[in-house]
Homo-oligomer: A and B are copies of this chain.
Amino acid sequence: MLKEFKYETKVYYEDTDAGGVVYYANYLKFLERARTEMISSFELNNKKLLNNYKILIIVKSINIEYKKPAQLEDKIQIYSLIKSISKASFSMSQKIKRNDEIILNADIHLVTVNQEGKPVKIPEILEKSLKN
């Protein structure tokens, strides 16, 4: 993917913790929502990938750098970029911003697996979209 995919969401009470900011695990939900919306922008979705192509996309590794906390009612933007693609996996970089401020940076390695969890070739239709 040559250009970043942008997805916007908002911080609700459910996302925050008693520290007054977004709970550190909940940012991973925002990242996953953004990846899901990126897949949807390819006219695909997790359900279709499972039903028609018998695959799931799972996270193999993730590196996150927390830069600034997001807070209740914040509108945040998640930017997703495909960095490389191989036979049964691909790498992405994602960042969460609040307008000009960087909230966090993430590097993620994803693998396509079958329902038994074994790595399988990325379906052509998905591979093509990831490369565009």
**Could you list which residues of chain A lie within 8 angstroms of chain B, going by C-beta atoms?**
12-14, 16-21, 23-26, 28-29, 32-33, 36, 45-47, 56, 58-66, 69, 71-73, 117
Number of copies of chain A assembled together: 4
The residues of B that contact A62 with a CB separation of less than 8 Å are 24, 62-64
The residues of B that contact A32 with a CB separation of less than 8 Å are 12-14, 24-25
The residues of B that contact A19 with a CB separation of less than 8 Å are 13, 56, 58
Contact pick for A66, options B18, B26, B45, B58, CB 8 Å: B58
Q: Nearest chain B CB to A44's CB is how many angstroms away?
A: 11
Q: Which residue of B lies closest to A56 (CB)?
A: B19
Contact pick for A117, options B28, B56, B64, B69, CB 8 Å: B69
The residues of B that contact A64 with a CB separation of less than 8 Å are 61-63
A73 to B33, CA, bound (A): 11
Q: Which residue of B lies closest to A48 (CB)?
A: B73
A104 to B52, CA, bound (A): 30
A73 to B51, CA, bound (A): 13
> In the complex, which of the residues A20, A25, A32, A61 has the most CB atoms of chain B within 10 Å of its own CB atom?
A25
Question: Is B60's CB under 8 angstroms from A66's CB?
Answer: yes
Answer whether A29 and B47 are a contact pair too, CB < 8 Å, given A21-B18, A65-B61: no
